[in-house]
């Protein structure tokens, strides 16, 4: 019997062709889009990007063996339900590290040089009238603070050092040797917030990290400081961030993620006050930091590799729930 694979969102066409050459596909997007629950009883594997995979979806999938995340975060998967039903969950760590790191600097350069404001001025027919309001700052010599020092944080540090920036890191789990090797220095969170010109977040959303940047933490920052978040929206208290922007307590924020993605990952805009807020110094992009051709190909190949392993009876690599998978469901 041919295995059925559900693909929630677009993936690299080369990967899609590989999957389609071996399996029957069901799509959560495009002209052939289906509601997952309508086909749940036929699905053997899922390649998951933006859709939220609930306990109900897992419970109604008797043939489901693996949910292969096309990405790093797994907060859109009910890991407990997957484990209880003997469903592997995997991710693709490192596949988009360079893409996300480059997006950090795309946001940083845009904010530092006020590119969005400059574009709006040109569209409004103002060429020179607003130039006094479009004075930016150079990154060379500035201090970048990284909260989190995983593969993406390390890549950001490398790029920052190349731009002659000073880099400070807060990550209780990072090796001092690794931090120093990247040309950075480890500090406590409050110290980082007080001295940095730019603060960039690179850590998962957990109970312990939710609203890591809240009102008290933002109050420590320089009035000239920028905040960049390409990780998860819930890391920042967005009400506190908006208040800081409105009062001039900080200079700007550039976000690729929103808290409301926890409500609807595919379309958080109706649930977000921040996304609709047109404020000077605020830039919001729609969770595209990892979206490059190269990252899509790598993540797609890794996800498909995990699916192939499981469909062939092998335990997959890059598992998220291997330690908590119920023993009765573990492959023999």
What pLDDT is attached to residue 328?
45
* Domain coordinates in residue numbering, the chain: 4-94+293-329, 97-284
The mean pLDDT value for 62-75 works out to: 93
Judged against a pLDDT cut of 70, whether residue 332 lies above it is answered with: no
* Fold category of 4-94+293-329 in CATH: Rossmann fold (3.40.50)
Question: Lowest-pLDDT range, 120-124, 262-266, 293-297, 301-305?
Answer: 262-266
In sequence order, which residues have a C-beta less than 8 Å from that of residue 100 and are 6 or more positions away? 152, 155, 230, 289, 290
- Cβ atoms within 10 Å, residue 69: 26
The band of 286, judged by pLDDT with boundaries at 50, 70 and 90, is very high
The answer to whether residue 327 scores a pLDDT higher than 60 is no
Query: What is the number of H-type helices and E-type strands within the chain?
Result: 12, 12
- The fraction of the chain above a pLDDT of 90, given in percent, is 83
Please give the Cα distance from 139 to 111 (Å, whole number). Answer: 11
Angle subtended at Cα 49 by Cα 46 and Cα 54, rounded to the nearest 5 degrees: 65
pLDDT at 312 over 80: yes
- Confidence band for 289, pLDDT divided at 50, 70 and 90: very high
Query: Could you list the active site residues?
Result: 232, 261, 287
For residue range 93-137, what is the model confidence (pLDDT) as tens digits? 999 999 999 999 999 999 999 998 899 889 989 998 888 989 999
C-beta atoms surrounding 83 within 10 Å: 20
Summary mean pLDDT of the chain: 93
Beta strands in the chain (DSSP E): 4-7, 24-27, 45-48, 66-69, 88-90, 143-147, 166-170, 185-186, 198-201, 226-229, 252-255, 282-284
| Per-residue pLDDT reduced to its tens digit, 133-154 | 899 999 999 999 999 999 999 9
What fold, for 97-284?
Answer: Rossmann fold (3.40.50)
pLDDT for position 276 = 62
Asked if the domains 4-94+293-329 and 97-284 are classified in one and the same CATH topology, the answer is: yes
């Amino acid at each position: 019997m041919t295995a059925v694979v559900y693909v929630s969102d677009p993936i690299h066409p080369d990967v899609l062709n590989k999957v389609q050459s071996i399996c029957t596909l069901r799509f959560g997007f495009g002209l052939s889009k289906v509601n997952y629950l309508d086909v749940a009883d036929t699905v053997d594997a899922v390649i998951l990007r933006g859709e939220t995979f609930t306990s109900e979806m897992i419970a109604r999938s008797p043939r489901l063996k693996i949910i292969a995340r096309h990405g790093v975060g797994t907060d859109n998967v009910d890991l407990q339900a997957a484990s209880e039903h003997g469903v592997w969950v995997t991710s693709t760590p490192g596949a988009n590290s360079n893409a996300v790191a480059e997006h950090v600097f795309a946001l940083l350069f845009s904010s530092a040089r006020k590119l969005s404001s400059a574009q709006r001025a040109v569209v409004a027919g103002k060429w020179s009238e607003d130039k006094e309001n479009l004075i930016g700052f150079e990154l060379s010599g500035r201090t970048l603070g990284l909260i989190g020092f995983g593969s993406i944080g390390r890549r950001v540090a490398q790029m920052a050092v190349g731009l002659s920036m000073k880099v400070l890191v807060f990550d209780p789990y990072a090796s001092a040797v690794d931090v120093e090797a990247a040309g950075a220095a480890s500090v406590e969170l409050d110290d980082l917030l007080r001295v940095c010109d730019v603060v960039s977040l690179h850590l998962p959303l957990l109970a312990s990290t939710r609203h890591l940047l809240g009102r008290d933490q933002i109050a420590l920052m320089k009035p000239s400081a920028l905040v960049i978040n390409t990780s998860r929206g819930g890391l920042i208290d967005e009400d506190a961030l908006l208040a800081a922007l409105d009062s001039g307590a900080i200079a700007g924020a550039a976000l690729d993620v929103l808290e409301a993605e926890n409500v609807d990952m595919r379309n958080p805009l109706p649930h977000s006050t921040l996304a609709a807020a047109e404020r000077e110094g605020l830039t919001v992009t729609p969770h595209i930091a990892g979206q490059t051709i190269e990252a899509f190909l790598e993540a797609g190949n890794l996800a498909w590799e995990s699916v192939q392993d499981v469909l062939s009876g092998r335990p997959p690599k890059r598992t998220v729930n291997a330690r908590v998978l119920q023993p009765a469901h573990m492959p023999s």
